A and B are shown apart, each in its own frame.
Chain A
Amino acid sequence: MPLSEKAIVCACEDVSVHDIDDAIEHGYPDIESLKRYTGLGTGPCQGKSCEVGAMRICAQRNAVPPPAQVPFRARPPLAPTSMAAYAGLPAGVTGARHPTAGLRPTWGRGAHPLQPPAPLPGSADIVIVGGGIMGLALAWNLAGRGAGRVLALERGYLCEGASGRNGGGVRAQWTTPTLIELAKESIAFMARFAQELGINVWLRRGGYLFLAHDDETLRRIEYGAELQKRHGLATRVITPGEAGEIVPQLDTSKFLAASWNPEDGVVFPWPFLWGYADGARRRGAQVETFTRVTGIEVSGGRVRGVQTDRGRVTADRVVIAAGAWSPTVARLAGVQLPNVPYRHEIVSSEPLKPFLGPLVSMLGTGLYFSQSMRGEIVGGMGDPDEEPGLNQTSSLRFLARYGRALSELVPQLGAVKLLRQWAGCYDVTPDHSPVLGETPGVAGLLQMSGFVGHGFMMAPAVARRMAEWMGGAKDEIFERYSVRRFAEGRLIKETFIIG
C-alpha cells in the first residue's frame, strides 16, 4: 500500500493543502474559521508548524486581505503541561481574586477587515441580531416557513461567541418540565441533524453522570430523577459503586450518589452553526458575518429597524439572540434586560484513546468533563469569585482550580497534559431560565436569550417553536418566559446549572 500524495500542512491533525482549499471554497477563509473547519492548529503543537504554511496558502489564493492575515488566537498552555503541575500551584494563584480588565482583544472597534464589501439590503421582514446557534437555528426555521426576508447579523466569524466556545454537552436532565421537553426534542433533532442539514455533528450518546457530594444535592438529584422519569427519561439515581462501573477511573469516595441518564451525550458544536447557516441560506435567508449592529430604531412604541456598520436596515421585527451580549444589544433599543454576562473557562487535553463514556459533572463545584470525539478531555469549572462582565480571556487561576479538582476526582488524569484553554460567556438570568417573546413597550422587538450556558443544547426546539409562534401559532412558553416575569415576580427556578 503506497503512501498517498497528500501535501500535509498540519501534521498533528493531518490537514492537507486540499483541505485548506476546501475550507476556503466553503466560505471559511479567515484564520479562526479555517482552524475550526479543518482542525489545523488544534493538535499537540498548537499551530506552531502549520499556521504559517496555512496563511501562505490563503495569501496566495487572495482568500483574505492583508489586514486579516493575522494568527489565530494562541491558547495557553503554549506547550503541553500536566494537570498535576497546575494542581500544585500555590494558594496565591487560586485565592483572593483581583479583578482585571482582561487583555486587549485582537480586534478593536471599527469595521472588521473581513467585512463583506456588498451593502446590506435596505429592508428585511425580520432581522436577527446574533449569529450563534439561537439566531441561525431561528433563521433556518423561519426561512423554511416562508416568513419573508430574514436577515441574520453576526459581528464576528461564526462560532466566535458562546456557541463556538462550549463543551458540547447535551442533556435532558433538567429540573423544570419545559426545559426537559425542549432538550428532549433538541437532542432528537441532533440525532438527525446530518440528514436535515447535510453536515455531521457527531452526537455521541455516552450519557450524563451528575455527582452529588452532599445531602442537599442528593435531594436535588432525587427530585430531578423523579420529574425526568415522569417525562419519559431513563434517569435514575445510582450508588457510587454503580457510577464506578460506568467510569472506573472515578474516586468513588468523593460523592454520595449520582444521577445517570444514558441517553444524554456530547456533540461537536461548530458544525451546528455552519449547518444552520448554510441551511438558512439555501432556504433564502441572508446570514452576514463581521457585521456589527450599532443601533436599534424605535418609534411610536414599535421597532423600525437596525443600524449597522454596513448601513441601515428597516424591519418590523427584530430578534435579539446575542447570547451574553443580549443586554448590550437590548440597551440600543432602550430596553433593560436582567441578564448578566459571566465568563466561564474551559480547557482541552491531549487526545487520548477512548476510555470515558459519559459527561461527568460534580454539581457542588460545577466541575464537568467529557471526552470529545477527537479523544480530548474537555472540561470546565465554575468560579464563585468570578466578576460579571463580557470577558473572554483565559486565566491561570482556572487551570489551577480545574487541575486540582479533576485530578482529585480522577487521579489517573493527573499526568494528562492540557493543550488549550479558552473562555466564553454565560448569559445569566436571575432564575436561570431563558427570556423569550415580546418586549413590553417595544412592539416587534423579540427576545431569545438568557440560556445560562445551555442554549446550545436547546436551540433546535426553541427555534422551531419561536418560528411557529412568530408565524401566529399559540405557544404559552413565550408568555411564561417573557421578560415581564421578573417585574411580576413569577420566577421559574432551574437548579441544574453547571460550569
Chain B
Amino acid sequence: MPRISLDGAPIEAQAQDTVAAALLRAGVTTFTRSIKYHRPRGPFCFAGSCGQCLMRIDGLPSLLACRVPVAEGMRCERQNGPLGVENDLFRAADFLFPEGLDHHHLLVRSRLLGRVALEIARRLAGLGELPDGVERPARGELRRVELAIVGAGAAGLAAARASGAGALLIEREGRAGGAQLLFGAPVDTEVGRAELLLDAECVGLYANDTDIPGNALLAVRHRDRLLAVVAEHVVVATGGVSQPLPFPGVDRPGVYAARGLLALGARVGLELAVVGEGEEAKRCAEALSRRGYEIAMISGVPRRALGNPVKAVDTAAGTRIRCDAVAIAQPPAPLHELASSAGAQAHFDGAGFPVQTDAEGRTSVPWLFAAGTVAGKPAVPSGEAAGSAACR
C-alpha cells in the first residue's frame, strides 16, 4: 500500500487511487481554500474539468488531485490557507462580505485606502507558490495524419471504425469507452484501422501554420510532453462535462457530480442525496446504488446545502434531507471548447452549448466535424456519420 502525506501527516492509500480518492477515503474533504473568499473547497467533477481539487503535489503547484495517481512517498500540500486550510482565518472575507465583494468599486473614493486595498489584494492573490524545482523542456514531436478524432467514447470509437486508414484516435483517459464505462454499459472498443493514443489530452486546436500540409494543428498532451499533430480533418467527440447548480452551498466540500462519484474509486459515506430529475438522474441513481449507496432523490433546485462537509440539503419543497454527501445529477453539458475555440458555432439550448452541425457532423468550419454528446443529444450526429463524412 503506498503511503502519501498531506501537509506532513501520513495517509494510507490504495494502489489504484488518485490523490483525491486516497484523501477522501482518509476522511479529508477540504482540499483547498477558494481564491477570493477562502471558502472551503473539495473535489466536484473527478474528471479534471472543474478547479476545486487543486493541490501542491511533490513541489508542483495547483495540480488536479483527481487526475494524479498516488505514488509511494508523494507529498501533498494544501494551498491558499496561509494559517492552515482547515482553520484558515482569511475565511473572514466570506463572512464579512456575505453579498460578495465588488472589487471594481471597493474604496474608490480614497486614494490612500485604495492603496491599502491594493497592497492587501496583492498579498492575498494567487493560489500556488512557485514550483520547487526546474522542469526541463520535454522533447515533443510533430506528426501528420489524415484524420484526428478527439475522444474515444462511443461516438469517437464509431467515427474511428467508420473512417479509413490514417486516423488517430486521441483519448484523455487510460482506456477507451468514455462515459459508458461509468454505467457499466457494454461498449465496442474496436478502433478499426485507426491508431488509439491513450492518456493523451488535446489541449489546443489551431489553423495549421506549419510547413507540413494540412488544415488543422492539434496540441496533444501525452503524459508530460506535447505532440503537435497536423491533420487534414478533425472529428471532435469530446463528450460532456458535469455541471453544478447555482444554489447556496453547492461549492461546499461534500457536493459532488454524480458521474464523478461513479468515476471515483472510493465511496464518500453511505447516504447520498441525488439532486436531479429525468433520465440522467435515474441512471446515475441506479448506478450509484449498485456501488452501495443509499439514495434519496431530490428534485428541483435545492434551497441550500448545510454543513462542512455537507450533511444536509434543504429542498425546494422545504424539507431537510440529511445525508453523508450530495450528488448533482444534471445531464452533462457538451464539452464544446475544442471545437468552438477553432471557430465552430455553438449555441445555448438551456442545458449547455452544443456545437452546431448538420446530420453528418459538419460544423461551420469546413475541416471540422463534431459527433456525439458534444454536438447535442448522444448519437446525433453519430460517430459513424461524422467519421465517414470526414474521410470523403
- Tell me the A residues contacting B by CB distance below 8 Å: 1-9, 11-14, 16-19, 22, 37, 43-49, 51-53, 55-57, 59, 66, 69-71, 73-82, 84-90, 92-93, 95-106, 191-192, 194-195, 198-200, 202-204, 249, 271, 274, 350-355, 372-376, 393-397, 399, 403-404, 407, 411-417
- Give 4 nearest A-B pairs by CB, closest first: A375-B126, A76-B204, A69-B348, A14-B36
- What are 25 A-B interface contacts by the 8 Å CB criterion? A3-B249, A5-B98, A5-B304, A11-B244, A19-B100, A22-B100, A44-B62, A49-B44, A51-B353, A52-B352, A56-B350, A70-B348, A74-B341, A79-B201, A84-B136, A85-B226, A88-B138, A96-B211, A101-B207, A194-B107, A200-B117, A249-B130, A271-B104, A396-B219, A412-B130
Kindly list chain A residues whose C-beta atoms are within 8 Å of the C-beta of B340.
71, 73-74, 106
Contact flags B4-21 to A (C-beta < 8 A → 1, else 0) = 000000000000000000
- B94 contacts A92, CB within 8 Å? no
- A88 contacts B226, CB within 8 Å? yes
Q: How far is the CB of B40 from chain A (nearest CB, A)?
A: 8
Bound-state CA distance A281–B86 (Å) is 47
Those of B76-126 within 8 Å (CB) of chain A:
91-92, 94-95, 97-100, 102-111, 114, 117-118, 121-123, 125-126
- B243 contacts A52, CB within 8 Å? yes
- A7 contacts B246, CB within 8 Å? yes
- B338 contacts A105, CB within 8 Å? no
- A85 contacts B103, CB within 8 Å? no
Q: What is the chain A residue whose CB lies nearest that of B87? A: A1
- B248 contacts A395, CB within 8 Å? no
A13 and B49 contact, Cβ closer than 8 Å, known pairs A76-B206, A199-B104, A415-B131: no
- B337 contacts A355, CB within 8 Å? no
Kindly list chain B residues whose C-beta atoms are within 8 Å of the C-beta of A403.
137
- B209 contacts A7, CB within 8 Å? no
- A353 contacts B127, CB within 8 Å? yes
- A407 contacts B137, CB within 8 Å? yes
Those of B304-359 within 8 Å (CB) of chain A:
304, 308, 333, 335-338, 340-343, 345-348, 350-353
Those of B1-46 within 8 Å (CB) of chain A:
34-37, 39-41, 44-45
Bound-state CA distance A203–B37 (Å) is 22
Bound-state CA distance A351–B365 (Å) is 33
Q: How far is the CB of A4 from chain B (nearest CB, A)?
A: 4
- A350 contacts B137, CB within 8 Å? no
Kindly list chain B residues whose C-beta atoms are within 8 Å of the C-beta of A202.
118, 121
- Tell whether B187 is near chain A: CB-to-CB under 8 Å: no
Bound-state CA distance A190–B23 (Å) is 47
Contact flags B193-211 to A (C-beta < 8 A → 1, else 0) = 0000000011111111111
Binds A, one of B50-58, B280-288, B289-297: B50-58
Bound-state CA distance A66–B353 (Å) is 12
- Tell whether B61 is near chain A: CB-to-CB under 8 Å: yes
- Tell whether B133 is near chain A: CB-to-CB under 8 Å: yes
- B341 contacts A75, CB within 8 Å? yes
Bound-state CA distance A278–B353 (Å) is 32
- Tell whether B48 is near chain A: CB-to-CB under 8 Å: yes
A48 and B209 contact, Cβ closer than 8 Å, known pairs A84-B137, A352-B61: no
- A412 contacts B345, CB within 8 Å? no
The number of chain B residues touching the other chain, given as a range, is 35 or more
Kindly list chain B residues whose C-beta atoms are within 8 Å of the C-beta of A45.
49-51
Bound-state CA distance A384–B245 (Å) is 47
Q: What is the chain B residue whose CB lies nearest that of A407? A: B137
Kindly list chain A residues whose C-beta atoms are within 8 Å of the C-beta of B207.
100-103, 393
- B139 contacts A88, CB within 8 Å? yes
Q: How far is the CB of A475 from chain B (nearest CB, A)?
A: 29
Bound-state CA distance A411–B131 (Å) is 10
Which of B49, B210, B212 touches A49 (beta carbons < 8 Å)?
B49
Known: A44-B51, A97-B210. 16 other contacts (CB 8 A): A8-B39, A43-B51, A57-B246, A76-B206, A81-B221, A85-B224, A92-B212, A194-B109, A195-B110, A195-B114, A199-B108, A203-B118, A204-B118, A352-B128, A412-B131, A415-B131
- B134 contacts A414, CB within 8 Å? yes
- A76 contacts B203, CB within 8 Å? yes
Bound-state CA distance A93–B132 (Å) is 29
Kindly list chain A residues whose C-beta atoms are within 8 Å of the C-beta of B98.
4-6
Q: What is the chain A residue whose CB lies nearest that of B34? A: A14
A353 and B129 contact, Cβ closer than 8 Å, known pairs A14-B36, A74-B340: yes
